[in-house]
């Protein structure tokens, strides 16, 4: 019979004996300096400020020393390799993306199973398949990944960006799509950029001036939109927007008919100005549509001179409006698809609008024509997440995927005129959906707010409080956590684990009001929601504090850091990944100042400083407290949330931790915030996280 890994939940004599024989962890000595900051008359020590210098030899040596300790600890876990073998085996199946048509070719991404990066293939009209672009050839280690890419309108040209070592700084390469030959010079120092062609003449992209100091941590504050004309040097690229207007985020896209350039400009992660330029008239002016930052606004298409705009202006759950380009300001907007009680996120394809709604974080998709007439609700496979429904007006078929926590992503083809869906690509994952269950419950947070949570596990789970459980959360930046399948979660659940995901305030699941309820001086609501989720799982005996792990990344890393310092008794394990952990200084790094809508900054006011300091994970670690067993994860090329957050937090926690729970930091090299991470690195990270978690819960996976 096929060998599988199963979990036997035991606080066994074997583990007790092993723990007794293990020597106490000798953490690397981390130097403290005398740095002190003054905030409105309050002195705040920052003894690990020197770790913010990612270019210093001392920081490099510290990273090496910490990784050595962490690797030694992980190496002693007897079932770590067993977990890796199982995860690799389940991961090793062919994966194919939704197809899309450019020119005379159909393109799609495919991964044969364990390739570090997925490969872009194409088929011609005769069905002949060829490799078009293979990111695995970009670097030997698989650490250079494909970023943004865009074909010209006729499909004859391609611009694509690459990320080296996970950095947000990109290079842009231009290809003749027919001959696959490189055209012109490679663009460098491009960051936070889309790519959008104006015919075959050239394309728009965005970037910052290269900062003084470290490119991975120095502040980047003024974003600009450029136009690169084919055959010219990058130094000749024309600034289209952002030279005289200082904005942190600027983007430009050309409408499908090549008529208009649409420009978005923002100073924070919420709220944007909106502009338009008529490309059919040389030297035409840039016209303002929205002149403030009080709403999110996006042009999703146009019909001649009529624009279709999705907006939350006077509509917290969003609506689609139309307006004539000649008089485009908000007072002239007319509802095409009005706001409803559910959050709207529309796409367009085949001359139709597909209105994606979330009903308690689960997808509902409705099809409309361009007059706003409702045609039908798309029948989905069940409760879950539907993605796709995006393409060109001339596309004859609409493709979309469906997934949830127990359903591997499956691709469907929709005939848009009839609304009939057909199976296009069934997942080849070796996972038995019928052996698992995923159910949504609602629990009550501290202030009485009703919060949804999806709980997923094997069928027949015994509610005895001893099930290893990962509670995963985010709660910020209007981002919604919707159900999706994960091989690493599959292995966790196969081994008897529970995976629980609450939809916390600060996210986008219930629109702008839900988002705002978890921002700035209401950020504590997010932490309270997460704590209440844990208490629900414990009360219902899914788990107990001895078998609970808190997990989250980026803003979710902040969530874990805040909750573990506020309630160190709540969980056995804490897993903050690439977290925002120094709330007094986050805005001084790279583009961090743009997060102020969600967080506020310590410079805003004495009250805002006090509030931030009150929950900042770095500043709330106390002597003599036993915190959960903690594995901090970050990467040396993370220039989104710089690794200094994690470095300083781990140092402070190691210095003050009471008791025997380990405090380790795992620092990936040649990796960034997460996008484009190689399959090899992703598997190893998930193995280490699960091994660390189970080991510290006293749980042993055994082969049978």
Choice among 206, 554, 651, 678 that is catalytic: 554
C-alpha–C-alpha distance, residues 240 and 674, integer Å: 31
C-alpha–C-alpha distance, residues 701 and 266, integer Å: 49
How many other CB atoms are found less than 10 A from the CB of residue 572? 22
Angle, in degrees to the nearest 10, between helices 644-656 and 555-566: 20
Q: Strands 663-668 and 629-635, how do they pair?
A: parallel
Choice among 438, 515, 673, 678 that is catalytic: 673
Q: Please identify which residue in the block is written with the tokens 């890796």.
A: 84
C-alpha–C-alpha distance, residues 518 and 559, integer Å: 11
C-alpha–C-alpha distance, residues 269 and 478, integer Å: 9
C-alpha–C-alpha distance, residues 526 and 505, integer Å: 5
C-alpha–C-alpha distance, residues 393 and 267, integer Å: 33
How many other CB atoms are found less than 10 A from the CB of residue 237? 18
Q: Which residues share a beta bridge with 459?
A: none
DSSP H or E stretch at residue 299: strand 297-303
C-alpha–C-alpha distance, residues 557 and 544, integer Å: 22
Tell me how far CA of residue 531 lies from CA of 451, 457, 559, 570, 660, in angstroms: 12, 21, 10, 8, 24
Contact, 334 vs 322, CB < 8 A?
A: yes
C-alpha–C-alpha distance, residues 513 and 379, integer Å: 29
Token readout for 36 is 């002190």
DSSP H or E stretch at residue 73: helix 57-75
Measuring CA to CA, which residue among 529, 371, 518, 512 is closest to residue 450?
529
Catalytic residue status for 61: no
How many other CB atoms are found less than 10 A from the CB of residue 431? 20
Q: Please identify which residue in the block is written with the tokens 């419950």.
A: 441
Residues carrying an active site annotation: 554, 673
């Amino acid at each position: 019979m096929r060998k599988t890994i199963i979990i036997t939940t035991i606080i066994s004599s074997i583990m007790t004996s092993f723990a007794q024989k293990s020597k106490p962890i000798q953490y690397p000595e981390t130097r403290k300096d005398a740095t002190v900051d003054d905030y409105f008359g309050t002195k705040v020590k920052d003894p690990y400020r020197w770790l913010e210098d990612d270019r210093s030899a001392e920081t490099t040596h510290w990273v090496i020393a910490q990784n050595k300790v962490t690797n030694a600890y992980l190496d002693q876990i007897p079932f770590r390799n067993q977990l890796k073998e199982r995860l690799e085996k389940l991961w090793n199946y062919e994966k194919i993306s939704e197809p899309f048509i450019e020119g005379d070719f159909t393109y799609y991404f495919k991964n044969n199973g364990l390739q570090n990066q997925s490969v872009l293939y194409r088929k011609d009209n005769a069905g002949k398949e060829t490799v078009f672009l293979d990111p695995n050839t970009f670097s030997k280690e698989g650490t250079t990944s494909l970023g943004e890419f865009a074909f010209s309108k006729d499909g004859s040209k391609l611009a694509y960006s690459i990320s080296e070592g996970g950095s947000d700084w990109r290079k842009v390469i231009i290809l003749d799509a027919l001959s696959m030959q490189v055209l012109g010079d490679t663009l460098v120092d491009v960051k936070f950029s889309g790519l959008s062609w104006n015919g075959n003449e050239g394309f728009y992209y965005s970037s910052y001036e290269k900062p003084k100091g470290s490119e991975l941590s120095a502040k980047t504050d003024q974003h600009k939109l450029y136009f690169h004309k084919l055959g010219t040097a990058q130094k000749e690229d024309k600034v289209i927007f952002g030279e005289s207007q200082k904005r942190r985020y600027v983007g430009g896209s050309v409408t499908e008919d090549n008529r208009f350039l649409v420009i978005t400009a923002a100073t924070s992660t919420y709220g944007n100005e909106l502009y338009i330029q008529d490309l059919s008239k040389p030297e035409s002016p840039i016209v303002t549509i929205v002149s403030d930052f009080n709403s999110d606004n996006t042009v999703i298409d146009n019909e001649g001179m009529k624009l279709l705009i999705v907006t939350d202006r006077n509509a917290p759950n969003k609506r689609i409006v139309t307006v004539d380009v000649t008089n485009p300001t908000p007072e002239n907007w007319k509802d095409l698809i009005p706001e409803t009680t559910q959050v709207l996120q529309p796409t367009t394809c085949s001359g139709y609008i597909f209105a994606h709604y979330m009903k308690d974080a689960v997808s509902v998709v409705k099809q409309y024509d361009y007059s706003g007439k409702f045609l039908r609700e798309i029948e989905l496979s069940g409760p879950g997440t539907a993605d796709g429904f995006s393409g060109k007006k001339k596309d004859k078929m609409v493709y979309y995927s469906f997934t949830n926590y127990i359903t591997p992503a499956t691709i469907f083809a929709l005939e848009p005129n009839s609304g009939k869906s057909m199976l296009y690509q069934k997942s080849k994952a070796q996972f038995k959906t019928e052996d698992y269950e995923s159910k949504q419950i609602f629990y009550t947070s501290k202030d009485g707010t009703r919060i949804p949570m999806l709980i997923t596990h094997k069928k027949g789970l015994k509610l005895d409080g001893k099930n290893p459980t990962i509670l995963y959360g985010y709660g910020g930046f209007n981002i919604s956590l919707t159900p999706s399948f994960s091989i690493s979660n599959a292995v966790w659940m196969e081994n008897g684990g529970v995976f629980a995901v609450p939809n916390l305030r600060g996210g986008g699941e219930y629109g702008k009001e839900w988002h705002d309820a978890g921002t700035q001086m209401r950020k504590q609501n997010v932490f309270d929601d997460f704590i209440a989720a844990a208490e629900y799982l414990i009360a219902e005996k899914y788990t107990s504090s001895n078998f609970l792990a808190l997990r989250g990344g980026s803003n979710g890393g902040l969530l874990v850091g805040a909750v573990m310092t506020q309630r160190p008794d709540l969980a056995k394990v804490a897993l903050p990944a690439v977290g925002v952990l120094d709330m007094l200084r986050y805005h001084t790094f790279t583009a961090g100042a743009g997060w102020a809508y969600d967080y506020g900054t310590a410079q805003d006011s004495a009250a805002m400083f006090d509030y931030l300091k009150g929950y900042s994970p770095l500043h709330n670690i106390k002597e003599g407290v036993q915190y959960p067993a903690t594995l901090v994860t970050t990467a040396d090329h993370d220039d989104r949330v710089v690794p200094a957050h994690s470095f300083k937090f781990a140092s402070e926690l190691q210095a003050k931790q009471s008791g025997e729970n380990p405090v380790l930091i795992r620092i990936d090299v040649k990796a960034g915030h997460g996008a484009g991470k190689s399959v090899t690195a992703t598997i190893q990270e998930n193995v280490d996280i699960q091994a660390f978690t189970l080991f510290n819960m006293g749980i042993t996976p055994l082969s049978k």
